[in-house]
Homo-oligomer: A and B are copies of this chain.
Amino acid sequence: SNNFFLLAGPCAIEGEDMALRIAEKVIAITDKLSIPYIFKGSFKKANRSRIDSFTGIGDEKALKILKKVSETFNVPTVTDIHEISDAEMAAAYVDVLQIPAFLVRQTDLVVAAANTGKVVNLKKGQFMSPESMKHAVTKVLDCKNQQVMITDRGTMFGYQDMIVDFRGIPTMKQFAPTVLDVTHSLQQPNQTSGVTGGRPDMIETIARAGIATGVDGLFMETHFDPANAKSDGANMLHLDYLEKVLTNLTAIRQTINNLD
């Protein structure tokens, strides 16, 4: 179909029911729109601002739920890893290992992910230029792993805001397939509460710009009840809006595919 692909799911795996419920809802939409889909869920939240933030339901338990989602719906899955020892553990359960933005400069972690032979999704650090992602991609390729992609999740703009630099899309596509993370790109970090804020009203705006500038895929966190999600509720797209957003984006993508 030559449509964009989608990495989507809840921020954190909070339990089996919610994971399956979200996956089922998303798949109904992506099947209809011919969007290749990868279910996303974190098995652990390791980089919260505050020590009392939710960090997970248990690593093994969460990873098994990811596997269950994969088997139930026949979709690939992606999760993020934070320690070298996470790489092999997670690789036993998921198809794509994601390196968080804060950690993408940690060579040993990137190499550990690459050496599992799984697809590696490198998030661009908020402090990195699009050009500098070339070096991160090269670290994966040097491990004889050609399956690597880049995800942009915005760039630091003052202390409490992020901005997406769309010049970076064609730049990073020179190195690897490039994804735009439309929910984290809208974060507003360093809020005085210690809880990151967001602009979910801008998700479709940013996603349209991403599709128009040629991203290969989109990443978004979605939930049937963002306000009560255990992490990142301020950024997730409510599942009820997903079909309309993806329908619009698919229309733009089809136009883009036919341009000269």
Contact = CB atoms under 8 A, between A and B. Distances in A.
Given A83-B83, A142-B51, A105 B107 contact: no
A85 to B, nearest CB: 8
A239 interface: no
A22 to B, nearest CB: 23
Contacts of A55: 107
Interface in A197-215: 199, 202, 205-206, 208-209, 211-214
A115 to B, nearest CB: 13
A252 B251 contact: no
A146 interface: no
B158 A160 contact: yes
A52 to B, nearest CB: 9
Interface of A: 46-51, 55, 82-85, 102-103, 105-108, 111, 125-129, 131-132, 134-135, 138-139, 142, 155-161, 163-167, 169-170, 186, 189-190, 192, 194, 199, 202, 205-206, 208-209, 211-214, 244, 247-248, 251-252, 254-256, 258-260
Given A157-B165, A160-B160, A166-B205, 16 more contacts: A50-B138, A51-B107, A102-B106, A126-B156, A129-B190, A135-B194, A157-B158, A157-B163, A158-B159, A163-B163, A169-B205, A208-B212, A208-B213, A211-B212, A212-B252, A252-B252
